[in-house]
Structure 1
Amino acid sequence: MIRYLRHRYSKIVLSIVISLSYFCLSLGTILGVGFFWSGQMVKAVEPSTSHPQATATSNQLTKQLPAQDIQQGRQYYATAQYESAIQVWQQATQYFATQRNVLSQASVLSYIALAYQQIGNVSEADIAISASQQLLNDDGLQNQSNYWSVLGQTLTNQGNLQLLRSQPANALNAFQQAMTAYTTANNIDGILRSKLNQTQALQALGFYRRALTNLTDLEPLLIEQASPLLRAATFRQMGELFRITGDIDQAQHVLQASLDIVEKLDAPAELAQTWLSLGRIAQAQGHSDQALDYYQQVIAFAVSPTLTLKASVVRLTLRFETGQADVTDSELADIQNQLTHLPISRTSVYAQLDLVRSLLDFSHQGLSSTIPSLLQQTLDQSKKLGDSRAESYALGYLGEYSMQAQSLSDAQSYLEQALKIAQTIQADDIAYRWQWQLGRLLAQQGTLDMAIATYSNAVKSLQTLRNELVAINPDIQYDFREKVEPVYRELVNLLLTPSSETSEISQTNLFQAREAIELLQLAELENFFREPCLSVQQQIDQLVDATTNPTAVLYPIILPDRLDLILKLPNKPLQHRSTPVSQADLDARAEELINKIVLPYNYTLKEAQAISEQLYDWLLKPVDTALAEANIETLVFVLDGTLRNIPMAVLYDGQNYLVEKYNLALAPGLNLVDPQPLTEQRLAAIAAGLTESRHGFSPLESVRTEIERIQMNLTGQILLDQSFTQAALEKEINDTPFPIVHLATHGQFSSDPEETFILAWDTPIKINTLNRILRNSEQTRQDAIELLVLSACETASGDKRAALGLAGVAVQAGARSTLASLWNLDDETGALFMEKFYQILSQQNTTKANVLRQVQLALIQNPDTQHPRYWAPYVLVGNWL
């Protein structure tokens, strides 16, 4: 499908057809329902033996007189003059009734139903669509040439009505039936419209990824045969879904395909729609000025009131987000004026909700005083439309506004009403938000147990969305740190807050807090990858309790006003400690430490040790005694936040570094991928590396030495320089299932998956591609990759969450262990480090964590490499055995 977009769409012969507006539906910012009518006028039914009532004379009149009414109605509809459209279409249906032209009458009745939906008269829309269906129930009509197309059209409009009533599952069924009808009629445009409508129903159900698959699986020939405007609409919808699911590059590509088509047509509405979508892409890329220009183009074009309103609202929101101080009352007044002149419709209702969301998030120059009246108007209109999602949003926003105004009783009432509606329609993607806000309100009121229960329900709602959370709602996806992460952290904060009766935290609360952080880290990785992460096979607790080498696991949890520690010792209850340090102070010291270690020539060793000692006091000193009493040999960290960027080995107690006391490892969560020791007979590796400058990166001259020294200690296969291509690496990993994969090449870890990669000779291999290569090998090998080594990687400069990329590699690659560097060592030291690592690994029957420690201790004892800059960057993630 995507290949077709790249190579075929520009070759299609374009033709002008009649088409009506297509509006993109999305959860959280729903701006309209997609209507796809037939691109041609429905022809009159020809006389037949089963329906002899239509004469030749009436057939000719049908073609002439109602055609003008139908076309005039379409023009009224396109300019939002819905009542006028209804009036002329009703004239057409009366005429068709007198002529007993059943199919044409049924077709126009379905048009009338759409217009009634737009003005909020759902009961009349129901009557019209039911009348259309009743006319079509006559089996004798099935022999008529246009029967199946008219049936498809009526089913489509029934589905639109069900979407309006927040019945997406029923709508999906109607759209699927419509597709069957259009397929029977061999109506290419109808088939494609049905696919697009099914996509919207899937979005309304919260299944954005399935919605995207629904479009990308389309046969290229189907799209090629469709009308140009419908192809443009398909590409635009696909682009929106790629944007929502995080593939911005692909989104831009298919939106450009849509733009290329509509620029050659006399289709101003479609052109403006595509500009609006491209503006959203520019906004997602951080190109605010470009996005504002696109939105302004749509506004200046003034092709339709609804598009102008959409662009005005999203432009105002972006101006709020970018902190533009010149936002004035007149801009808000202009939008309100636009709303006043639009009939009640889904478009206007969701535009008002978007506007209120912006005013709630970015209170500016007293503009938020308009919120109550806007929301009351929205609430009334959503009830009239029968749109339960919009009603839930309006009530929920009223609750949030009341909380800001400290009207807690009103806030609780509004939020409970909003939650009840969201749960009734099974909209977990918005239910979690009201549960979260209710939890906040209850905590503010001091009812701790009820607050914890409500927060826990919010987390459960998020977990039900797990497979789609990364693409469930643009509102969630783009604001993960603001609208998902706080739910988990605020729950943990409550769980680790002592009650008034005791200062001790119960074991139940400790387990729940630890699980909540685990779920947060999993959600964070899934948000990073835009797809569900792998399930894992063994809990750390079971491994700690069963291992012969005394092992402990420490969970530092960063909260706004403190650092909480949960310690797991072998066969003992969880222990809890708390350090009164703010998140801001902790983050600042962590960043300062990294700077003083990575840039040793700018700072003295004592300066680095002073910062390291402060962090040791916060993280380790509270549990020192407990670790000593348990005779712990291996200490495993499940790190949180900015602490992921720090190698724990460098923490300093005033006399010794932490690595001088313990074997150290990191775990990405409470679970590991089937941890097993690495046996001597399995010591074989695929080693790949670059020595020459490629793609703007400096040469790594010592990589050749590094690879040669690996060969001295291990058997295996070598890919060096020109032989190290992406295809060659994939082939070797699939063909030779060695337990170790060693990549000695430039690489970068980042919080952006597009900026997380390793460098091959022919191309940078991005993280998703690398993970695919490593995961695909599982189909041809009996065991998982035991050890993945990334020996010349570094975290992205200035990215506080860069180590998320390392965690992502460790989790998604499926390797039991990953050894990687957080910053790039000088070439020679890196080669020496790896030589010692493999030498010890091949000669001693010990754990990988102990091997890493021995190498680091050897470098510490060498005056030339005693600075942490040289020995600290390597971290072991996953199985430490």
Structure 2
Amino acid sequence: YERSLAIREKALGPEHPDVATSLNNLAELFRATGDYARARPLFERSLANMEKALGPEHPNVATSLNNLAALFDDTGDYARARPLYERSLAIREKALGPEHPDVADSLNDLAALFYITGDYARARPLYERSLAIREKALGPEHPSLAYILAGLAATNAAGGELDTALPMLHRAIAVATPERLDALLQAEDALRRVHARAGHPELAILWGKRAVNTMQARRAGVAGLERETQRLFVESNRGTYTALADLLVAQGRIEEAQVVLQMLKEHELRDGFLRSDAKDPRSTRIELTGLERSSFARFYELREQQAALGAERRALEIKRKLGAASATDLARLEEITTRLFPELQAAMVGFLGSLNERVLAQRRPGQEVTNVKATATRLRRAVLELARSEPDSAAVGLQYYAMDDRLSIILTTPGAPPLAREVPISRQRLNEQVTRLRVLLNTAGASADERPLKQVLAELYAAMVAPIRADLEAAGARTLMVAAYDVLRYVPVAALTDGTRYLVEDFAVVSFSDSAFQLPGDSSAPEWRVAGLGLTQPIEAEGLSALPQVRAELQGILQQPGIQGQPWLDQQFNRDRLSAVLTAQRFNVLHIASHFVFTAGRPDASRLYLGDRSPLSLAEVAAQDMRFDGFDLVTFSACESAIGGGRDSHGQEMESLGAKVQNQGAQAVMATLWKVYDESTAKFMQEFYRLRAQPGTNKAEALRATQLEFIQGKVRRSSAKAYTHVYFWAPFVLMGNWR
């Protein structure tokens, strides 16, 4: 698209209608993948070109209007979208006539706007008229009918007419050929919503799984696009995954929900930073239970037949267009089009119509779901392994994910099935609390009044810990492995408080990533040999201040009993030195004290500054396949490490850093959640390494003990004032093998 646009602009001039077409095509790609910021100016320029070259009443202008309206529609700006849709419809009716297929498109899009804004009375007649036009022009079996049928069915369901909605959705599934993934996804997700509304959770889950697997296949189609475009695509479709997980949790099918959440986490982080990893989560699928597989067997048979006939029909149509089709070929094409395809679609509709009764009859109240083929998640395997190899740690897993109207918490313990707790707090409220917390910590820092800070931490404790506190105590938990989703990844869980005690005073708290392929393994190396790399100078172009305490930080670490190693500062810390350290096999800990700046979803722009002040991007780390094999811990004691930020940031950049370094060989990673104070961080790191060097102390215990010393006022500033403020001790996050 970009090359086509460049050629046309150069050959035809920037205002030619063909240039407008190229602009529109590129904008459509960005819109389809959720990259609205890049799509909008292209749509607007395309519209302006069309109006100037062809006049305001031309059908091509209507197309540009419709596409720009769709962008506003996608972003929730319905007030701007509606007049554009209405103008597009008026132009098309006048220029093309009221029965033209393009008029049906405008009617469908305007109907969808009314549906999403709750105006079902206006949406329904527009959908019905659009469907009638399409059926008359293209026939009742055309794949494009799937979109209209799904929209009309959803409108009827919203109005309480479930009996009419289901046959329409069954027909939508039948006419949507396998390559029409968008249409399939829309119809499958609509069936999930309709059955959930009708009180049929088994069928809602079945269609939710179908929708997730269709999304998996659809994601493969954007695999070659820019990482930011892929990230936005996943972000705009995350509801497909979370809605299924929510249904599964509500039915007590916690382990299946955990598999879905692991898939979502893998997608978020791969499309942000992990794209070079060999294992591609786009190939994974959510498994059906035994009952679901047996119920759906006929569906897959019909789908395979439909796919085979579709491929044969496309090949015959190409031969016909090239004038190479024989009489036998033409007869076969006619047979497929007029008899075989309609028969298959009728069989599909009949099967789906009987599916409801069969599934509901098979799933009686109290009957357990069996034969789930999905393997245990990495979190589950980690909890079980730690119960065997290090029972004294009493490790449990905690997963947090927010729905629109509630927070779901999943607790994984070694001696029982996972359990779930649901908290009636909205995603919006959680986002507001986390945003307020981040503002307090990132703007005021240590000067922030601790009263409003503790208030937010107490509110988050009430939502995230209080509902499962009794469960943790019943399980005898001592170590919490936290896997959070969305903005909850920014929460310093160790600092959550009930008003009297911080959580870390009762538990060691570590971070667990579903996308890191390594699990907590053997105990870490008995003696640490540390390669210390640091930057003390400012990066003026970035506005990054000097880090004068880095020298003392590295020297203090290397002076601790039981710690050996060597430091390299400033000009000594360059690319060659980093490469030599990674390959020397002399060290088992890499400690980097420098600025690490994140840009959400942009590994090419997320960068570590080396001692010679040159940037090293995460994209380069991936492209050069920098290996961290043999390192028990990689510490980013960095001014800006793991903080990211921005409107579209959901904490995935912090988790991606840890997962990326682990997947390239490291056992564990330590980073920070916000901009840290140079002097206190130096003291924190020295104390952490000192405590870890003591016999029998693992990384998680050393981290907790260091945090407790800060809380208790045992570590003081040069001014003799203690570092008790949350800002000083809570940003440190330990990811991976904490043993």
TM-score w.r.t. structure 1 length?
A: 0.61
- Indicate the SS of the match to 2:77: coil
Q: Contact 1:687/1:743 (CA < 8 Å) preserved in 2?
A: yes
Instruction: Give the aligned partner of residue 721 of structure 1.
Output: 570
- Counterpart among 483, 489, 492 of residue 242 in structure 2: 489
Structure-1 residue corresponding to 2:705: 854
Q: Per-residue displacement from partner, 1:369-398 (whole Å, max 9, x unpaired)?
A: 6343234323444449x863x233333233
Query: In 2 relative to 1, CA 272–654 (structure 1 residues): closer, same or farther, beyond 3 Å?
Result: closer
1:717-796 equivalent positions in 2, closer than 5 A: 718-725=567-574, 729-730=578-579, 732-734=581-583, 738-753=587-602, 756-760=606-610, 761=612, 763-773=614-624, 775-777=625-627, 783=630, 786-794=633-641, 795-796=643-644
| 1:819 to partner: Cα distance | 0.7
* Change beyond 3 A, Cα 1:614–1:428: same
Aligned pairs for 1:265-304 within 5 A: 268-277=16-25, 284=35, 286=37, 290-291=41-42, 293-302=44-53
- Equivalent of residue 869 in structure 1, options 705, 727, 731: 727
- 1:752 counterpart letter in structure 2: G
Per the alignment, residue 806 of structure 1 pairs with: 654
Paired residues of 2:276 and 2:623 also in contact (CA < 8 A) = no
In our comparison, the structure showing a higher alpha carbon Rg is 1
Structure 1: how far apart are the matches of 2:13 and 2:579? 43
SS at 1:637 equivalent: strand
Aligned residue type for 2:194: L
Residue aligning to 2:353: none
User: For 2:224 and 2:159, how far apart are their aligned partners in 1?
Assistant: 32
Q: Greater shift after overlay, 666-675 or 828-837? A: 666-675
Deviation at 1:429, TM superposition (A): 4.7
Q: Does residue 441 of the first structure (1) align with residue 229 of the second (2)?
A: no
Pair 1:706-2:557 in alignment: no
Q: SS at 1:655's partner residue?
A: coil
User: Deviations along 1:752-807, whole A, 9 cap, x unmatched?
Assistant: 3256433345554443333444x4427xx5x4664343432252455474421011
Counterpart for residue 412 of structure 2: 568
Of 362, 374, 387 in structure 2, the residue corresponding to residue 545 of structure 1 is 387
Report if aligned partners of 2:478, 2:507 keep a CA contact under 8 Å in 1.
yes
Counting only pairs closer than 5 Å after superposition, residues 832-851 of structure 1 correspond to structure 2 as 832-851=683-702
- SS of equivalent residue, structure 2 residue 538: coil
SS in 2 for 1:664: strand
Task: Kindly indicate whether the alpha-carbon contact (under 8 Å) linking 2:274 and 2:660 is maintained by their aligned counterparts in 1.
Answer: no
Are the aligned partners of 1:650 and 1:658 in contact in 2 as well (CA < 8 Å)?
A: yes
Give 1:597 shift.
4.6
* 1:824 matched residue in structure 2: 675
Tell me the residue number matched to 1:614: 459
Paired residues of 1:465 and 1:472 also in contact (CA < 8 A): no
Q: CA offsets per residue over residues 185-236 of structure 1, 9 Å max, x none?
A: xxxxxxxxxxxxxxxxxxxxxxxxxxxxxxxxxxxxxxxxxxxxxxxx7723
Q: Which moved more, 1:829-838 or 1:531-540?
A: 531-540
Distance 1:784 1:467 in 2: 34
Q: Quote the Cα distance in structure 2 between the aligned partners of 1:580 and 1:529.
A: 33
Residues 633 and 751 of structure 1, relative CA distance in 2, 3 Å threshold: same
1:214-613 superposed matches below 5 A: 235-236=3-4, 257-258=6-7, 261-263=10-12, 268-277=16-25, 284=35, 286=37, 290-291=41-42, 293-302=44-53, 307-320=60-73, 321=75, 323=77, 325=79, 332-338=86-92, 341=95, 361=116, 368=123, 370-383=126-139, 388=143, 390-422=144-176, 424-465=177-218, 467-468=220-221, 478=232, 480-482=234-236, 484-497=237-250, 505=252, 509-529=253-273, 531=275, 535=279, 539-548=381-390, 549-598=393-442, 599=444, 603-613=448-458
Pair 512,876 (structure 1): closer, same or farther in 2 beyond 3 Å: same
Q: Which amino acid in 2 is paired with 1:587?
A: N
Runs of at least 5 residues in structure 1 that lack an aligned partner in the other structure: 1-232, 237-254, 499-504
Deviations 1:453-502 (A, max 9, x none): 221222233344564466799999745444x222222223323336xxxx
Distance of 2:430 and 2:639 partners within structure 1: 28
Identify if the C-alpha distance between structure 1 residues 734 and 370 changes in structure 2 by more than 3 Å, giving closer, same or farther.
farther
Task: Tell me, in whole angstroms, the C-alpha distance in 1 between the residues paired with 2:20 and 2:403.
Answer: 45
Following the alignment from structure 1 to structure 2, what is the Cα–Cα distance between the partners of residues 527 and 648? 26
* Structure 1 residues 848 and 307, CA gap change in structure 2 (3 angstroms): farther
Provide the residue aligned with 2:372 in structure 1: none
User: For residue 442 of structure 1, what is the amino acid of its counterpart?
Assistant: H
Matched letter for residue 818 of structure 1: V
Residue number in structure 1 paired with 2:366 = none
Looking at structure 1, the residues matched to 504 and 620 of structure 2 have their Cα atoms a distance apart, in angstroms, of: 34
Structure 1 stretch displaced more, 593-602 or 444-453: 593-602
Q: Is the 8 A contact 2:446 2:728 kept in 1?
A: no
- Are residues 662 and 292 of structure 1, via their aligned partners in 2, closer, same or farther at CA, if it must alter by over 3 Å? same
**Residue 695 of structure 1 aligns to a residue in which SS?**
helix
Contact 1:339 1:348 in 2 (8 A): yes
Shift of 1:364: 9.1
Deviations 1:288-334 (A, max 9, x none): 87445412333224469675444232223345547374667586244
1:705-764, CA deviations, whole angstroms, 9 ceiling, x for partnerless residues?
223334445555655334545576456535667443333222234543256433345554
- Per-residue deviation at 1:568? 1.7
2:309 aligned partner: none
How far 1:616 moved relative to its partner?
A: 2.2
Following TM superposition, by how much is the alpha carbon of 1:818 offset from its aligned partner in structure 2, in angstroms? Answer: 1.6
Residue aligned with 1:777, SS: coil
Q: CA RMSD in A?
A: 4.0
Count matched residues.
612
Mapped partners of 1:701, 1:492: distance in 2: 48
The one-letter code of the counterpart of 2:264 is: L
Residue ranges of structure 2 left out of the alignment (5+ in a row): 280-376, 714-720
Judge which range, 563-572 or 735-744, deviates more: 735-744
- 3-state SS of paired residue (2:498): coil
Maintained 8 Å contact 2:633/2:668: yes
Q: Is 2:707 the counterpart of 1:880?
A: no
* Distance in 1 between residues matched to 2:215 and 2:30, nearest whole Å: 28
CA contact (8 A) 1:837 1:852 kept: yes
Q: Structure 1 CA distance, aligned partners of 2:384 and 2:42?
A: 52
In the alignment, the residues of structure 2 paired with residue 378 and residue 476 of structure 1 have an alpha-carbon distance, to the nearest angstrom, of: 32
User: 1:872: how far off?
Assistant: 0.3
Which amino acid letter does the alignment assign opposite residue 271 of structure 1?
V
Q: Is residue 642 of structure 1 aligned with residue 487 of structure 2? A: yes
In the superposition, the TM-score normalised over structure 2's length comes to: 0.72
Q: Which secondary structure does the structure 2 equivalent of 1:699 belong to?
A: coil
Q: Hey, what's the Cα distance between the residues in 2 that align with 1:331 and 1:836?
A: 63
1:638 counterpart SS class:
strand
Matched residue of 2:596: which SS? strand
Q: Assess, with a 3 A threshold, how the Cα gap between structure 1 residues 522 and 282 changes in structure 2: closer, same or farther.
A: closer
| CA gap 1:379/1:726 in 2 versus in 1, 3 angstroms | farther
* 8 A contact 2:516–2:659 mirrored in 1: no
Contact 1:470/1:530, CA 8 A, preserved across alignment: no
